Amino acid sequence: MSESIWAAIRSEPPATTPFSSNCPSRVVLDHVTSKWGVLVLVALSRDSMRWGELHRYVEGISEKMLAQTLRQLESDGFVLRESMGTVPPRVDYSLTALGQELAALLIPLVQWVGDNVGRTTVPLGATA
Amino acid sequence: MSESIWAAIRSEPPATTPFSSNCPSRVVLDHVTSKWGVLVLVALSRDSMRWGELHRYVEGISEKMLAQTLRQLESDGFVLRESMGTVPPRVDYSLTALGQELAALLIPLVQWVGDNVGRTTVPLGATA
DNA sequence: CAGTATCCGCCATGATACTG
DNA sequence: CAGTATCATGGCGGATACTG
């Protein structure tokens, strides 16, 4: 009994890939590639931004989704939240070192998509 | 009247970015970064795959979502579907040139996430 | 200003069953 | 084998109102 426990503990997390259904990276990947996650991460890649700035910059995002996305990315360790504790409140959001590594990979992607929408055959009228 | 029409037509699609709420790239970005879209695109980046192969390779994807994702990516011009017209049926899926360009950007991302999950602070227990 | 709280519709996702 | 059809549901996402 104790043996099986130790065996289980000792056994390495069996080198799962994002293609494995139980791989933790699936979760992170979902956060990162979420509808708003990508845009927020890229938005913060230039410089830190305040809540209101982000809200205006990432057009169309609701307050709820902005809050949710930021909390998510913060809990993943990609975003740093700094409250200045002033009145009226001022809160700055920036990328952590980890977040910057990630954003570095996201930028070319967003850039490419932006540049090449015209080459795609996306059914017109899909404005959503 | 005709003037305003021409003015409207002549005016360039006002250089929208993915941060603009009405930008078409938003749609493509959503397809590409969809839960299964990323994985399917990366899966096909090595070589073409049959339906059943994909279904097994991208663990956890339902038949419905596989079909839907493939149709989506096909209609965007990223994926090529080739039915062999045999019985029993054999259908091959591969990336178009456009899809390969895209996948080239997706691979480092998926790779990075897979390699760096450990550095993130994803709340444990989130296996979904 | 920077959020939280609440309500709600809709659709993305999934499980199951069926078909050429 | 390669899908489609159908049904059920959770939660994504938006709108609105409220607060320190």
Give residue-wise pLDDT tens across range B20-59.
Answer: 988 889 999 999 999 999 999 999 999 999 999 999 999 9
| A81 in B contact zone (CB under 8 Å) | no
- CA of A85, closest CA in chain B: separation in Å? 25
Going by pLDDT thresholds of 50, 70 and 90, the confidence category of residue A10 is: low
Total residues belonging to chain B: 128
Q: What is the pLDDT of residue A5?
A: 40
Task: Give yes or no for B75 touching A (CB within 8 A).
Answer: yes
Which nt sits closest to B66, CA to C1'? Answer: D3
Tell me the per-residue pLDDT of A81-99, one tens digit each, with 9 for 90 and over.
Answer: 999 999 899 999 999 999 9
The mean of the pLDDT values for chain A is 88
Q: Taking phi first (over 0 means left), then psi (-120 to 50 degrees means alpha), and beta for anything else, what does residue A85 get?
A: left
pLDDT at B32: 92
Pick among A28, A113, A116, A119 to test the B interface (most B CBs inside 10 A): A113
> Rounded to an integer, what distance in angstroms lies between the CA atom of residue A110 and that of residue A118?
14
- Give residue B16's pLDDT band: very low, low, confident or very high (50, 70, 90): confident
Mean of per-residue pLDDT scores for chain B: 88
- Spell out the long-range contacts of B88-97 with Cβ–Cβ below 8 A and sequence spacing 24 or more: B90/B50, B91/B50, B91/B51, B92/B48, B92/B49, B92/B50, B93/B44, B93/B48, B93/B49, B93/B50, B93/B51, B93/B54, B94/B44, B94/B47, B94/B48, B94/B49, B95/B41, B95/B44, B95/B45
Percent of chain A with pLDDT over 70: 85
As a whole number of angstroms, the distance between CA B94 and CA B75 comes to 13
Q: Residue B128 has what pLDDT?
A: 41
Residues above pLDDT 90, as percent of chain A: 76
Q: How confident is the model at residue B110 (pLDDT cuts 50, 70, 90)?
A: very high
Tell me the domains of chain A and their CATH numbers.
34-111 (1.10.10.10)
Q: What pLDDT is attached to residue B123?
A: 74
Look at residues B116, B36, B58 and name the one whose alpha carbon lies nearest to residue A20. Answer: B58
Q: How far is CA B103 from the centre of its chain?
A: 8
Average pLDDT of the residues in B87-99: 96
- Round to whole Å and give the CA distance between B11 and A34: 33
Which pLDDT does position B76 carry in this prediction?
94
**Local structure of B22: helix, strand or coil:** coil
- The reported pLDDT for the residue numbered B5 is 40
Residue B1: pLDDT over 60: no
- How much is the pLDDT for A42? 96
Residues B5, B3: Cα–Cα separation, whole Å? 5
Contact by Cβ (8 Å): A69, A34: yes
Nearest nucleotide to A89, CA against C1' atoms: C1
Stated pTM of the model: 0.89
Taking all atoms of strand C, which protein residues have CB closer than 7 Å?
Answer: A 50-53, 63-64, 67, 71, 81, 83, 88-91, 93; B 34-36, 60-65, 68, 88-89
Tokens of B29: 């970005």
* Residue-wise burial string across B47-73, b where 16 or more C-beta atoms lie within 10 A, e elsewhere: eebebeebeeebbebeeebbeebbebb
Cα–Cα distance for residue pair B125/B128, rounded to 1 Å:
9
CA–chain centroid gap for B105, Å, is 11
Does the pLDDT value for residue A127 go beyond 50? no
